[in-house]
Chain A
C-alpha cells in the first residue's frame, strides 16, 4: 500500500516538474518574442541584414519547395482524376487541385518544409553561436544580438513563408495540370475555367495567405527560440534542432486545424 502511495506521489511530482518546466519555457519564449518585437525597428534600418537572411532562409528553400510542390500537385492530379472520373466530373479537376493547394496543402506543406529546411538551419546556427560564445562576445562589444542577429532572421522567415507557399501552390497547380491535362486527357479549357470559377480571391486565396503568414511567424519564432535557448553543448544543439522541427511541425498542423475551423465558421 505504501509503495502505491509512494508511486502516485512520484507521478504527481514528475507531472508537477514537467508542468513547471513547460510554463517556464512558454514564459521565456514569450519574453523572447517581446525582445524580438522591440528589436525590429533597429533591424529595419539595416535592410542589408534582412536581405542576407532572405537569401539563406528564403532563396535556399526554393528548390525543395519547387520539387515538393510539383510532386504534390502531380499526385493531386492523379488521385483527383481517378476519383472524379467515376462521376464523370474530371473537368472539375482544376477546382480540386486549385482549392486543395491554395487553401490547405500550399501553406501547410510549405510550412513543414520550411521548418525542416530553414527552421532547423536557423536553430542550429543560433545554437552554435551560443555554444561558441558569439552572443556573449557581441554583448561584450556593446552590440545587441537581438537587433543584429535575431530580428533580421525573424523578419526574413516571416516574409519568406507566404512567398514560398505561393510558389508551392503555383508549381503544384502546374503539376496537377501536367498529369491531368497533358497525361490523362482532361480538357485544357475546362481545367482552368473551373479553377477560375471556383477559387475565390478573398475566401480561398487570402485564406491561404493568412495561414502561411501565421505559420511563418510561428515556425520562425520556434526555430529562433530553440536555437537561442539551447544548452550550449553539441548534444544540446542536436536536441534543440530536433525539437525545433518537431515543435514547429506540430504547431503548424494544430494551428491549421484551428484556422480552418475558424474560417469555415466565418463563412
Chain B
C-alpha cells in the first residue's frame, strides 16, 4: 500500500491528560481518509501533529518519506507548501479581501506576474463557485462561503495533501452538500490525498475511502465505510449510529442516585 503519511507509536499529552497513547495510523496516497471520534478525542490535535504545528512526546510522523518533526524550519516550510489545511473557522486573513487571501501564498512564494496571479486565483475561485465574490471581505461571507474561500486558498499552490478540520461543522444542508461535492471533486480531479477530521458520520461516510475512529487516546476501529457498517465493536457501533447509551454511558460517573438525593 502506498502511504503518504505513516504514524508510528505516537504519544501526545496535554498536561497530565493523555491524548494519544502509542497510536499507529496510515494515510493512503490519493484517497480520502476520515478521522472520526467524539468531541475532545484529539482529532484536530492529530492534524496539528501531522502538520508539525505540535510536537509529539514520542513516536514518528512520516510525511512523504520525511520525519516531519525532524525537519528544520526552512525544510518544514518547504514541506508545508505541499500541504494545505482547511481550518474550522476558515482562518481567512481578515484585513485582506477574498482575492488577496487566495493570492497570498502565491505572492509569498512565487514571482508570478500580476496577470498570472489573477488568472490562477480566478480559476481556483471558479472551482469553488465564488468567482463573483472575489472583492468581498471575509466579514461579508457566510460560514460556508468562508470555508470555500479557505479551500481555494489551500489548493492555490497545488498541494499533494489537504487536511480538513471539521469542514461541515455548523453548515446548512446546502453548504454541506456543496462542501462534500467539492472535497470529493478536488481529491479526484487534482490527485490529492485528503484527511478529513469530523464527527458528521453520514456525510463523511459518503466520500471517505477509509475511516479511523479514535477515542481515549487510541484507535477504536478502522476500515472502509462498508466494513464499519458491519463492525463488531460495540463502541464503534454506538458512535456511528449515534446511540444515546452503550459503552459510552449516558450518565457521567456519579455517586449512587438515592445516596446523592437523600444522603443515606
Q: Chain A residues in contact with chain B, CB under 8 A?
A: 128-129, 132-134, 136-144, 148
Contacts and interface: CB of A to CB of B under 8 A. Distances in A.
B8 interface: no
A56 to B, nearest CB: 10
13 contacts: A133-B87, A134-B94, A137-B93, A137-B150, A138-B93, A140-B53, A141-B81, A142-B78, A142-B80, A142-B81, A142-B109, A143-B105, A143-B108
A133 B104 contact: no
Q: Determine which residue in B84, B88, B91, B94 has the highest number of CB atoms from chain A within 10 A of its CB, and name it.
A: B91
Q: Determine which residue in B87, B88, B93, B94 has the highest number of CB atoms from chain A within 10 A of its CB, and name it.
A: B93
B51 interface: yes
A133 B91 contact: yes
A132 B94 contact: yes
A206 B73 CA distance: 41
Given A132-B89, A133-B88, A133-B89, A140 B80 contact: yes
B89 A140 contact: no
Nearest to B74: A142
Interface residues of B, number: 23
B160 to A, nearest CB: 14
Interface in B43-91: 51, 53, 73, 77-78, 80-81, 83-85, 87-89, 91
Contact of A137 (B73, B81, B91, B109): B91
A141 B105 contact: yes
A144 B72 CA distance: 13
A139 B80 contact: yes
B97 to A, nearest CB: 15
B53 A139 contact: yes
B114 to A, nearest CB: 15
Given A133-B88, A141-B80, A142-B81, 4 more contacts: A133-B87, A137-B85, A140-B85, A141-B81
Interface string B88-125: 11011110000000001100110000000000000000
B80 A136 contact: no
Contacts of B51: 140
Given A140-B53, A143-B105, A132 B91 contact: yes
Contacts of B81: 141-142
A134 B93 contact: yes
Contacts of B73: 144
Contacts of B153: 141
Nearest to A131: B89
Contacts of B104: 141, 143
A29 to B, nearest CB: 21
B91 A134 contact: yes
